[in-house]
Structure 1
Amino acid sequence: MGAEQVRAFWRELGLPGLIDVHTHFMPENVLAKVWAYFDSAGPLVGREWAITYREGEAERLALLREFGVRAFTAMVYPHKPGMADWLNDWAAAFADRTPDCLRTATFFPEPGADRYVARAVTSGARVFKAHLQVGGYDPTDPLLDDVWGLLAEAGTPVVTHCGSGPAPGEHTGPGPIGAVLARHPRLRLVVAHLGAPEYAEFLTLAEAHPEVHLDTTMAFTDFTETAAPFPRELLPRLAALQERVLLGSDYPNIPYPYRHALESLARLDLGDPWLRAVCHDNAARLFGL
């Protein structure tokens, strides 16, 4: 299933294309460092991880469009103070020149985070990324309380890597982000990777909070199933959350072809209505596309 077969996948479902809520576009120097980390199988990766789409920015954009991805994100994330604001500036400029990219922003627990997040929202940010594993921060940090409150009030989705895969962090797992949701129940949290490997716990979190969504990034693929298999007894619960599951891929930083993510969803046998909702309709509704 190359690009033509990816297009056939969504056409057979009667969709106008795909919407991928978890793709990475970053400043080239930052992306080079991310790729070097994957190449070295760093401690947050823990295994061999080959980047399939190691192309220039223009080529990566062209390939997404060839797949028929009609909207996507530029997931940027800081690993230390002083990065988030300039990453937001870069992502805003990227979205300005890339109209099919949802304007993406990020944050870090630091003085002034509430101000630059407010500025990003006012200037049109449609989605934020929070990476608790790489950032190594506690989402309940008081420096973030106004940030979460602002994003909850604005209704802006926050794609959050809060599960403990591929390697646990001090503040990963359902507990810390669950405490944030207890304080900000209107927060539109999108749990990246279905919360792997704590699938059951994050399904419970979504069942308890109607604004919590899950993205499918890398879930069910052969690569992930070998390390953190999704328990098949949980599939009925995932099916019941049909309207709050979103397609994510981690493109271009994936160790297999893009098509495999779609094949992995299809082989769950949850039905065409579920696939249509996940691969397009839910994100179209969430982002007003």
Structure 2
Amino acid sequence: MAEGDERVEAFWREWELPGLIDVHTHFMPERVMAKVWAYFDAAGPLVGRPWPIAYRYEEDERLAVLRGFGVRAFTSMVYPHKPGMARWLNAWAADFAARTPDCLRTATFFPEDGAAEYVRAEVADGARVFKAHVQVGGYDPADARLDAVWGVLAEAGTPVVIHCGSGPAPGKHTGPEPIARLLARHPRLRLVIAHMGMPEYTDFLDLATRYREVHLDTTMTFTDFAEQAAPFPRGERGRLAELGDRVLFGSDFPNIPYGYAHALEALTRLEMGTEWLRGVCYGNGARLFGV
């Protein structure tokens, strides 16, 4: 058990919450997870710094750890890096959710022929959240091949957690500009900007201010690890407070280089008030996903 894990339950009890909702956790096919961990271990180009995995456990143990923390609902963020991979990942994630009732059924997509059809099928079959990873996938989210996909998701109102900021390393299509183009085309899209758009925090706060359905997740943001490389601007805390009903707690469990409790305690250091913190850690996610 990583140092500080025993403080997680104490945190949500102190704030009189029924537990936690974590919108950004990774459960994947084991061989995929092994490759992800190997990439982190090697401090690959998209990581760029040592990144020790704090919760390198077998799947059953990882589930037990999350439940032991008091996490009442979580996701299985899967994402493809090439064509032909998304359908397979979606089949795995559907099976995982069927045997893991506290997991919000997660799905994904890639710019490829047939994407709109399989996304439509996933929505109809009960997918509750999608994951898009612009950095790893290396695609423009405004790619014409995804236009029908975004249309399906906007019409359904299904949240999409999207890694589109340029942290921890920029990609060809990361940053706010592609997302601005996407939202101009599909303004009702319910995007959840992963990592609050790190490091382009201000630009993504601008988009959240402009588009009512844009949310932000706190994944890794405000932690000591993130603040060393991409500190959140103090001048934006006012807008962070104003947008509090659209900020969601995310952890990146198990792929984090510190204890889970630290991500929660980093939020308390912001001193945003009781209602803001309670909404971020539980209420906003419960409302968004109908938990």
Contact map agreement 1:105 1:127 (CA 8 A) in 2: yes
Instruction: Provide Cα deviations, 1:128-175, integer angstroms capped at 9, x if missing partner.
Output: 000000000011111100000000000000000000000001110000
Match in the other structure for 1:157: 159
The offset of 1:3, in angstroms, is: 3.9
For residues 223 and 79 of structure 1, the distance between their equivalents in structure 2, rounded to whole angstroms, comes to: 26
Of residues 218, 222, 236, the one that matches 1:216 is: 218
The offset of 1:19, in angstroms, is: 0.1
**Two-structure CA RMSD over aligned residues (Å):** 0.7
Instruction: Provide Cα deviations, 1:59-85, integer angstroms capped at 9, x if missing partner.
Output: 000000000000000000000001000
User: Unaligned regions of 5+ residues in structure 2, if any?
Assistant: none
Contact map agreement 2:5 2:259 (CA 8 A) in 1: no
Match in the other structure for 1:267: 269
For residues 2 and 201 of structure 1, the distance between their equivalents in structure 2, rounded to whole angstroms, comes to: 33
For residues 101 and 248 of structure 1, the distance between their equivalents in structure 2, rounded to whole angstroms, comes to: 14
The offset of 1:111, in angstroms, is: 0.2
Q: Could you say what secondary structure the match of 1:226 adopts?
A: helix
The offset of 1:127, in angstroms, is: 0.1
For residues 4 and 11 of structure 1, the distance between their equivalents in structure 2, rounded to whole angstroms, comes to: 12
Q: Could you say what secondary structure the match of 1:206 adopts?
A: helix
Match in the other structure for 1:168: 170
The amino acid that maps onto 1:8 is A
Match in the other structure for 1:287: 289
Match in the other structure for 1:242: 244
Contact map agreement 1:3 1:66 (CA 8 A) in 2: no
Q: Does 1:46 align with 2:39?
A: no
Match in the other structure for 1:30: 32
Match in the other structure for 1:191: 193
1:223-234 maps to which residues of 2 (within 5 A)? 223-234=225-236
Q: Could you say what secondary structure the match of 1:171 adopts?
A: coil
1:133-148 maps to which residues of 2 (within 5 A)? 133-148=135-150
Alignment coverage as a number of residue pairs: 289
Match in the other structure for 2:22: 20
The offset of 1:254, in angstroms, is: 0.2
The offset of 1:257, in angstroms, is: 0.3
Contact map agreement 2:167 2:199 (CA 8 A) in 1: yes
Q: Could you say what secondary structure the match of 1:54 adopts?
A: coil
Q: Could you say what secondary structure the match of 1:92 adopts?
A: helix
The amino acid that maps onto 2:86 is A
The amino acid that maps onto 2:171 is G
The offset of 1:177, in angstroms, is: 1.1
Instruction: Provide Cα deviations, 1:103-134, integer angstroms capped at 9, x if missing partner.
Output: 00000000000011011101100000000000
Match in the other structure for 1:125: 127
The amino acid that maps onto 1:28 is E
Match in the other structure for 2:111: 109
Q: Please report the TM-score for the alignment, with normalisation by the length of structure 2.
A: 0.98
Q: Please report the TM-score for the alignment, with normalisation by the length of structure 1.
A: 0.99
For residues 264 and 99 of structure 2, the distance between their equivalents in structure 1, rounded to whole angstroms, comes to: 28
Moved over 4 A (4+): none
The offset of 1:4, in angstroms, is: 3.6
For residues 75 and 6 of structure 2, the distance between their equivalents in structure 1, rounded to whole angstroms, comes to: 22
Contact map agreement 2:22 2:73 (CA 8 A) in 1: yes
The amino acid that maps onto 1:84 is A
For residues 127 and 265 of structure 1, the distance between their equivalents in structure 2, rounded to whole angstroms, comes to: 24
Match in the other structure for 1:86: 88
The amino acid that maps onto 1:67 is F
User: Unaligned regions of 5+ residues in structure 1, if any?
Assistant: none
Match in the other structure for 1:179: 181
